[in-house]
Chain A
Amino acid sequence: MRIFKTVGLLVLLAIFIAFPQVFPNPAVTTIAIFALMFAAATTGWNIFSGYTGYISLGHAAYFGLGAYALALICQHWNIPGGYVPFMLVPVAGLAAAIFAIPLGWISLRVRRHTFVVITIAMFFIFQLLAYNLTDITNGSIGLGLPIPITWGGVFFNYPFYYVILAILLVTIAISWWVRNSKYGLGLLAIRDDEDRALGLGVKTGPSKLTAFVISAFIVGMVGAVWAYYVESIYPPTAFDATFDVALALMAFLGGLGTISGPILGALLLETTQQYFTLQFDSPGYYLIAYGGLFLIVILLLPRGVIPTLSGRWAKYQIARQQGRQERATLVPVLPTPGGGADSVERKEGINL
């Protein structure tokens, strides 16, 4: 089984690496780049919100901070377009992470609903600052980023594609490591019962804050790549309220707190969204379609695709094994599917 899994993952990786070569059409690679950006950002978001259960609806603030950080660095040092701005992407992510330390410390003093609402409020503070600090951010006129003039035609998308793919892989590695470490177990314990986790010796405060800063760092890096890709940024696009909710929706769609769930959710949803945008010229139809999709996903698949599917698969396996055992006239001692399985599953989270 393990070999199958490894081979499957390698094949998947090969498909992702070969994708722009197979479909060199810029329209397709553009959608792929946006989908990968959201996959990386959602996975980063999931490291904090999925594992700890603290749903943040303010990560667009770190996306915007990353974007503005890269734009300001490039402007300040007159960095030309090319590969250099990519080197500065981690610096931009770091800037977002530094901002996340005090903000996380403040907002993590509260829990549940109040936490959600505080993250929203903080996001709006940053949007307002981007509008109002005209000396730094240029206000609503926005900032421009260096344009890589030498990358023409089909080639233009390639560097962005591979850079964002690399960020996604790093993010998945971090997410996987967190999920399989003692530190990650602490985060999951916080999700299940924070006070009990504290009683059992999990350092809840520093754990939550670290996860928050890590996810802000990743989202900030994605914001920086996004800014370089779209070439000019404005307060409402860099600090976008729908981005906040998009991350949460993608994670919910795929399966909150799993490793593959957010990636799947982002790839599915972002491609559909790009398709809707291309399909409908009026923003009205697009909003209605997107909102409708939202409602359908949440009402029909409240647990997400991955947990629903793997739950089904586990039940099927148990049923099959029991059938086999009955044929072999052994005494059926395996626990029956259903029953209390649901609550156990939710607590453990499914690690795929």
Chain B
Amino acid sequence: MFSLIIEGIILGILTGGVYALMASGLTLVFGVMDIINVGQGALVILGAYLSYFLEQRLHIDLFLGLLLTMPFMFGLGLLIEILFIRPIKRDRTMLSILVTFGIALIIEGIVNLIFTADNVKLQAWYVTASFKVGGFYLAYIYVFGFLLAVVLLGGLYWLLYRTKFGYGLRASMQNRTAAELIGINVERVSAITFGIGIALAAAGGMAYGATNAFNAGSAYDLISRLLAIIIFGGMGSLPGALIAAVGMLVVEDVTSVIWSPVWASTVFFILLVIILLLRPQGLLGKLEARKQ
């Protein structure tokens, strides 16, 4: 029993890192642009399918393939932002939810057409091979995926806190208008942020696709979890998203080993509701000021 719980915790932390990667893009975009990208789930799945395509057709290793898919998804993010998000002038938050949902539907449709609705899983030697930790076996991909998340999130931290672009981005997060007044090109920052968010989704998608069988419909399951993570952590808070992602996956994995896998996500959602009752703004969120 005890070793099962330890197993659940280790697995939860490792997969939690991957979810943190996907959720960080979402919360970053929310913080800067004040929009909720409900298409993030579909974009994660698109990233997974791109890795699948490269691996199946061109026999490119999953991690090397990211060097191709992440820039591609970054470009796609820029395109979506410029074509569909920027033209929304009124009621940005609400309309952006609908617009990104429309984008998600289109992506789901395209993926369905090209790859059919059959479940697939990414293949590589480290997906099947495993090693022994304590009393159980762990596939290498969990560790590699976690390391990937650590590297990318470290890069994100460096970008946000050590570069001029990062200063601009954080300024835009704090106050859009004031940032514009001191000479930051907020529109450009927004587009790049959106691109980064989606590039992170692609990386997360690769790790997700290597640990789970997926099809286009998996996007719904993913987006519900990602949204839950960012509310749990506090909307727009990056450290909150990291804590919430790891916390959620640990709770889920522990529930699934000691109780039953079918109840794992229900337990998390119920926990989410309880936490919101006590702390409506999430773990590290700021209380919303009265809007003028």
Contact = CB atoms under 8 A, between A and B. Distances in A.
Interface string B222-241: 00100110110001000000
B97 A116 contact: yes
Nearest to B114: A284
A113 B99 CA distance: 15
Given A117-B36, A132-B262, A252-B98, A124 B269 contact: yes
B102 A112 contact: no
B281 A114 contact: yes
A252 B36 CA distance: 17
Interface stretch (A103-111, A260-268, A312-320): A103-111
B290 interface: yes
B101 interface: yes
A291 B36 contact: no
Interface string B76-90: 000000001001111
B269 A125 contact: yes
Contacts of B266: 125, 128-129, 132
B276 A283 contact: no
Nearest to B39: A291
Q: Which of B93, B101, B106, B110 has the most CB of A within 10 A?
A: B101
A53 B109 CA distance: 31
A178 B269 CA distance: 34
A302 B89 contact: yes
Contact of A121 (B103, B231, B263): B231
B109 A288 contact: yes
Contact of A302 (B90, B101, B230): B90
B277 interface: yes
Interface in A278-306: 282-295, 298-299, 302-303
B97 A299 contact: no
Nearest to B101: A245
A249 interface: yes
A114 B235 contact: yes
B113 interface: yes
Given A125-B270, A129-B266, A284 B110 contact: yes
Contact of A113 (B89, B224, B235): B235
A291 B112 contact: no
B281 to A, nearest CB: 7
B108 interface: yes
B108 A287 contact: yes
Contact of B290 (A121, A122, A125, A195): A195
Contact of B104 (A120, A125, A291): A291
A158 to B, nearest CB: 34
Contacts of A283: 109, 112, 117
Interface of A: 55, 57, 106, 109-114, 116-118, 120-122, 124-125, 128-129, 131-132, 193, 195, 241-242, 245, 248-249, 252, 282-295, 298-299, 302-303, 346
Interface of B: 30, 36, 84, 87-91, 93-95, 97-99, 101-106, 108-113, 117, 220, 224, 227-228, 230-231, 235, 262-263, 265-266, 269-270, 272-273, 276-277, 280-282, 288, 290-291
25 contacts: A112-B93, A113-B30, A113-B93, A114-B280, A118-B273, A121-B227, A121-B231, A121-B272, A122-B273, A129-B266, A132-B263, A195-B290, A248-B98, A249-B98, A283-B117, A287-B105, A287-B109, A291-B104, A291-B105, A292-B106, A294-B102, A295-B99, A298-B95, A298-B98, A302-B90
The 3 closest A-B pairs by CB, nearest first: A287-B109, A294-B102, A291-B105
